[in-house]
Amino acid sequence: MYHWTQDDFPSSRGGGIKVYQKTILQELVKIKDLHLTVLSSGSSDLYDFIDPSIRIKRLPSRTNELERFGIVNSSVWAPACNHFGNPYSINHLKMKEIFFEFVVKHQFDVIHFQHLEGLPAEVLTIKERLPHIKILFSMHDYYALCPQVTFLYKGRDLCNDSQNGKKCLSCLPVEDFRSSLSSKRANWFAFQIIDRVGFNPEGTIGTLIQKFFHQVFIGKTTITPPNPPPDNVLLNWHYIVELMNKHVDSVLPVSKRVQQIALRHGIHSNLLKLLRLGIPEAPRFRQEPPPQGPLIREDGSLTFVYLGYMTIHKGFFFLLDAFEEMPEELSGKINLVVAAKAPNDPFVLNRLMSLQPKLKSLIHYNGYTPDQLDTILGKGSIGLLCQLWEDSGPITAWEMHCRHIPLLTSDLGGASELSGCKSMVYGHGNRSEFIECVRKILEGKVTHEEYWKNSITPMTVAEHCQQLVQYYLSEEKDTL
Q: What proportion of the chain, given as a percentage, has pLDDT over 90?
A: 66
Least confident range from 119-133, 203-217, 332-346: namely: 203-217
pLDDT category of residue 216 using cuts at 50, 70 and 90? low
pLDDT category of residue 189 using cuts at 50, 70 and 90? low
> Do 379 and 302 reside in the same domain of the chain?
yes
Q: What is the mean pLDDT of the chain?
A: 88
Show Cβ contacts of residue 260 under 8 Å, excluding neighbours closer than 6 positions: none
- In this structure, is residue 115 part of a structural domain? yes
The tens digit of pLDDT for each residue in 11-57 reads: 556 677 888 999 999 999 999 889 999 999 988 788 887 888 999 99
Residue 114 belongs to domain spanning: 15-175+229-278+465-473
- In this structure, is residue 190 part of a structural domain? no
What is the Cα gyration radius of the chain?
A: 23
pLDDT category of residue 268 using cuts at 50, 70 and 90? very high
Chain centre distance of CA 463: 21
User: Other C-beta atoms within 10 Å of 120: how many?
Assistant: 24
What per-residue confidence (pLDDT) applies to 186? 66
Beta bridge partners of 135: 111
- In this structure, is residue 399 part of a structural domain? yes
Higher-confidence residue of 221 and 175: namely 175
Chain centre distance of CA 254: 11
What's the order of all strands across the beta sheet hosting 134-139?
A: 110-113, 134-139, 250-253
pLDDT at 230 over 60: no
Contact 432, 311 (CB under 8 A): no
> Do 405 and 297 reside in the same domain of the chain?
yes
Mean pLDDT value across residues 81-104: 90
Q: Is 71 helix (H, G, I), strand (E, B) or coil?
A: strand
Q: Is 187 helix (H, G, I), strand (E, B) or coil?
A: helix
CA 304, CA 381: separation in Å to the nearest integer?
Answer: 6
**CATH number, residue 345:** 3.40.50.2000
- In this structure, is residue 181 part of a structural domain? no
> Do 300 and 426 reside in the same domain of the chain?
yes
> Do 307 and 395 reside in the same domain of the chain?
yes
> Do 407 and 297 reside in the same domain of the chain?
yes
Least confident range from 225-239, 287-301, 368-382, 459-473: namely: 225-239
Question: What does pTM read for this prediction?
Answer: 0.87
Q: Is 429 helix (H, G, I), strand (E, B) or coil?
A: coil
Mean pLDDT value across residues 79-98: 87
Residue among 372, 393, 258 nearest 305 (CA): 372
- In this structure, is residue 49 part of a structural domain? yes
Mean pLDDT value across residues 392-412: 95
Task: For Cα atoms 416, 422, 427, give the angle at the middle one, nearest 5 degrees.
Answer: 70
> Do 253 and 295 reside in the same domain of the chain?
no
What per-residue confidence (pLDDT) applies to 354? 97
> Do 234 and 379 reside in the same domain of the chain?
no
Contact 411, 434 (CB under 8 A): no
> Do 367 and 414 reside in the same domain of the chain?
yes
Higher-confidence residue of 94 and 474: namely 94
> Do 263 and 300 reside in the same domain of the chain?
no
CA 248, CA 269: separation in Å to the nearest integer?
Answer: 12
> Do 267 and 397 reside in the same domain of the chain?
no
What per-residue confidence (pLDDT) applies to 13? 63
CA 21, CA 86: separation in Å to the nearest integer?
Answer: 25
**Cα torsion through 313, 315, 316, 322, rounded to 10:** 150
> Do 240 and 291 reside in the same domain of the chain?
no
> Do 146 and 254 reside in the same domain of the chain?
yes
Residue among 343, 387, 75 nearest 227 (CA): 75
Residue among 314, 390, 307, 385 nearest 139 (CA): 390
pLDDT at 222 over 50: no
- In this structure, is residue 224 part of a structural domain? no
Higher-confidence residue of 203 and 342: namely 342
- In this structure, is residue 347 part of a structural domain? yes
